[in-house]
Structure 1
């Protein structure tokens, strides 16, 4: 007889080291079951081919998951030179091959061309939609449609290793950057073509892979051990400025009403009662601090 799963309220942020082969949602659901968390979400997808940092949110922390969607990210990528695929990665079909006659000097000449503000054309093998259909569905049918170039920024592009037809890079970039497209563009500039064979995300915003845990490690722990890996609800917004309220101001804010805004503060602001986060607010046109997201108290 199958025992029905009992879900419970779990609040916090889990820094997961996602394994290869799992979608972000698959990884979320596996972690959610390990915590028996009634509510969970992730902060932006990581392709099945990719591994590394996937911040997961449980309970009240899901209210702040969107705050990481616009965050900068850092990846370590491995490119295979001399082979071009239709998807830009190792899962695609080979469409061209060429001899690799590339030196380190060539690498250091080309990489600066892809640093700074760039226009990048999204790949057909992506989840972007055209007339309600993901582009990857059209690509599987051999259909290619025109895509509009998007502005992205490569903050840093470093060569980690280069030998033969293998090139390893560290890429610090803005949201919306396709590393597969970057790999193909670099290969094109080198004159031999290239595709992405491995990708590992190491940083999201100011969250670091060094503090992440794997699913296998979580499975080996008891409940207390797993909960010890949860970061607090405010982990995704801890870089925002703080306002502390008490008494009538606390009650007003908790009930969706504005409070006085200290001079010199602007943008999103964390609001605390004592050491407990009660929400995030933003200045209104009246110069007061208005609630935007409120945290539900544990009863």
Structure 2
């Protein structure tokens, strides 16, 4: 973050600390979403380093939080103005910088696979899709339910074999008995209130190919 004029560091630190917790935020004019007022939670915000008008901030927040808007709003409260000079994402969900590879490494791995039939480097880069479901509750379903969900059907309670605790409105991952990712969806009920019959998960994104599992439903 760069301030537009000189401000005492103690004052900057005081204002930055005010942004910890729930904040109101309206997306910037140049954004890909509607500019409606939203509530976001800043789990942690700290000044890591500073030099002159430049401040290095480390922020942990809800998804969809605009960092450049935080810098702008800090500048407004300070009365001097401020803008974001640079942004570096060091963590998203379970993924950190340690999981990253360069496009050059991807290109070289693909070259070795296509031209030398050597998939060693490619296997080091590629990760199972199921890793992306880490960090959210999961439900295991029986084989007879998989094909219906692959066509976008919701998950009803009779098809559930096991589950982790979840709350209504949570994003939930659906897995087969073998641990294959089937879909992700939104919970319609709390896990401790699953009915004997009825919709439990509304399917939002199908992850498995159709017709891999036996069909046990009627169109």
Whole-Å separation in 2 of the counterparts to 1:263 and 1:220: 41
Counterpart of 2:176 (choices 272, 282, 287) is 272
Q: Which residue of 1 aligns with 2:24?
A: 119
Q: Indicate if the aligned counterparts of 2:139 and 2:164 stay in contact, CA closer than 8 A.
A: no
What pairs with 1:10-21 in structure 2 (closer than 5 Å)?
A: none
More strand by percentage: 1
Alpha carbons of structure 1 residues 207 and 291: separation in structure 2 relative to 1, 3 Å: same
Q: Indicate if the aligned counterparts of 2:93 and 2:135 stay in contact, CA closer than 8 A.
A: no
Q: Which residue of 2 aligns with 1:251?
A: 144
Alpha carbons of structure 1 residues 250 and 166: separation in structure 2 relative to 1, 3 Å: same
Q: Indicate if the aligned counterparts of 1:123 and 1:181 stay in contact, CA closer than 8 A.
A: yes
| CA offsets 1:204-233 (integer angstroms, 9 cap, x no match) | 122112211111222233332234211111
**In the alignment, structure 1 residue 233 sits paired with structure 2 residue 129:** yes
**In the alignment, structure 1 residue 192 sits paired with structure 2 residue 96:** no
Counterpart of 2:3 (choices 70, 77, 81) is 81
Aligned-pair distance for 1:121? 2.3
Listed as ranges, the gaps of 5+ residues in structure 2 are: 114-118, 150-155, 213-219
Aligned-pair distance for 1:242? 4.7
**TM-score, normalization by structure 2:** 0.69
Alpha carbons of structure 1 residues 266 and 105: separation in structure 2 relative to 1, 3 Å: closer
Listed as ranges, the gaps of 5+ residues in structure 1 are: 1-78, 83-98, 130-146
Aligned-pair distance for 1:160? 1.1
- Give the secondary structure class of the aligned counterpart of 1:118: strand
Name the count of aligned residue pairs.
184
More displaced stretch, 272-281 vs 154-163 = 272-281
Q: Which residue of 1 aligns with 2:39?
A: 151
| CA offsets 1:220-267 (integer angstroms, 9 cap, x no match) | 33332234211111122123445555xxx3134334474145487445
Alpha carbons of structure 1 residues 279 and 177: separation in structure 2 relative to 1, 3 Å: closer
**In the alignment, structure 1 residue 219 sits paired with structure 2 residue 107:** yes
Select the structure with the greater relative contact order (CA < 8 A; seq sep ≥ 6). 1
CA RMSD of aligned residues (A): 3.0
